[in-house]
Chain A
Amino acid sequence: MNPIAAVGRMFLSVSDTVGGITLTLARILRAASRLRFDRDETWLNLYKVGVKSYPIVIMTAIFTGAIMVIQSGQYVKQTGATGLLGWGAGYAVLAEVGPVLIGLMFSGRVGANNTAELGTMKVTEQIDALRALAIDPMQHLVVPRFLAMVVMLLLLTALGDLFALVGGALTSQFILDVDWRVFFNGVFNSQLLDEYLVGLTKGVTFGASISVVSCFYGLGVSGGAAGVGRAVNNCVVTSAIGIFVWDYIITYLAN
């Protein structure tokens, strides 16, 4: 294949995807601004997206906090600077690793599920049926999912931060023999509020990004079951890329 043609084709494909995602976002915001979205569907999605994700987020967060403490543990032990343990783990978890890992878990669990659900509705003509019944799929299906993912990823990030610190404190107590109070003193004395807020901002942004990407791929499915599979695959990959791109942008702006 001609390499220039291949690059051109890839550029067109990326432009097509980015343009489609941007248009989907614009349509979601326009539909949401009318404040006429389906409230029952929103509650249902808040439950499906949020409540059912708690266990996996808590697990991820506990291990993330624990790993951060183990990573920095040997240097802390060598230098005896145990007060820095809370700062190090807190800084990494609150601003960076926590939101990113929770976002990735969320995109795998919720984003992929959302694409599969909307995609299946598309290929079985349920989306057309909604339109034929004079119901706007944007207001009925997409806006509730968007709101649920944004709100719930914010809350899950806040919850994840808490459990990551608990995981870090337990690890410092039982693995490194550093008292958990010393760990928490390190966290709270380090004035990590800014990092905490940056982390929450990332949670909101990742939630919006994952929801828009998953709805874009779900509503664009064609070609039956194989098409749904491809869309889910594309959703997971694009969501992960989106998380890292937004992480970079927010980190850059916050520093």
Chain B
Amino acid sequence: MRDDPMAHALPWLKPALGRLPEKPVVLRVSGLTKWFGDVCVLDRVDFEMREGEVVGLIGPGGAGKTVFVKICCGLMDPDGGQIEILGENLLELKEKQRQRLRERIGLVFQNYALFDFMTVGDNVAFPMKQRGGATLAEIEAKVQERLTEVDLPKVRHLMPNELSGGMKKRVGLARANINDPELIFFDDPTAGLDPVTSSKIFNLIRKTQAHRNSTCLVISHDIDRMRPACDRYILLYEARVHFAGTEAEAMAATDPIVREFFRKEAGLK
């Protein structure tokens, strides 16, 4: 976890730091509600993320984490609530305007969602080609740069079905990053991966975030390994935000559910 700059500040410096302007809000969700038939998946969820933050979204399976991310990307409509994303009120936007907004957002899917009829290179290049305004040479160079960043410099001519799960995740990461998005959602980027590859993926998320100062929301169950990547955590439990705070706050919490999630994952009894 990254240190909170306030935590180690000298006592006389704290008031001065406190007066510094806060970073702008990138994502603000209020009263978000989603029903599937009779099942409430999100119940009046409130949440906020500021520029440059990496937030871990955790919770048991079926808690509504993926639905939350899909709603924030405008891929699914909620039944209630408000979403302010990158300064726009998402729910008031028409599809064309949402499309323009999505150019500033990246999404890495849980099941990769690579286009299986394209090579790896074409998959990564695709969003940039579609956006236009870049020459073929520029696109080629950027694709190579992004694939090198994810440690896959030599796979651009392979098809997705020739890659392992971890490699597909990294290609998804390269694709989501190709247009330098301001906000990136990672939907369980380490699902089904071995511990070593999981750690690599989280390190990669932290590295790319630090490099571009993007804001990231990472869904995962693997709290232990996501620790180096995340600044703070949100725990979704029974369709609501059960906890929001730093790891230190979670470890100090008396709430049994929060303790169970964080302390068990951290290997503490």
Contacts and interface: CB of A to CB of B under 8 A. Distances in A.
A126 B130 contact: no
Interface stretch (B50-58, B82-90, B105-113, B197-205): B105-113
Given A124-B111, A125-B111, A132 B116 contact: no
A30 to B, nearest CB: 11
Interface residues of B, number: 23
B180 interface: no
A131 interface: yes
Main secondary structure of the interface of B (DSSP, over half): mixed
Contact of B102 (A124, A125, A134, A140): A134
Interface string B88-110: 00000001000110110111010
Given A131-B75, A132-B105, A132-B107, A124 B113 contact: yes
B263 interface: no
B259 interface: no
Size class of the A contact interface (CB-based, 8 Å): 10 to 19
Contacts of B73: 131-132
A177 B113 CA distance: 61
Contact of B130 (A125, A129, A133): A133
A128 B126 contact: no
A135 B106 CA distance: 13
Contact of B115 (A129, A131, A136): A129
A136 B113 CA distance: 16
A224 to B, nearest CB: 12
B126 A133 contact: yes
Given A128-B70, A128-B75, A134 B130 contact: yes
B131 interface: yes
B74 to A, nearest CB: 8
A198 to B, nearest CB: 37
Given A124-B116, A126-B116, A132 B111 contact: no
B127 interface: yes
B142 to A, nearest CB: 15
A128 B99 CA distance: 12
A131 B102 contact: yes
Contacts of B75: 128, 131-132
Contacts of B107: 129, 132
Contact of A133 (B70, B74, B111, B127): B127
A135 B113 contact: no
Contacts of A125: 109, 111, 113
Contacts of B114: 126, 129
Given A126-B114, A132-B105, 4 more contacts: A129-B113, A129-B114, A132-B106, A134-B103
10 contacts: A124-B111, A126-B115, A128-B70, A129-B113, A131-B73, A131-B74, A132-B105, A132-B109, A133-B102, A133-B130
Interface of B: 70, 73-75, 95, 99-100, 102-103, 105-107, 109, 111, 113-116, 126-127, 130-131, 175
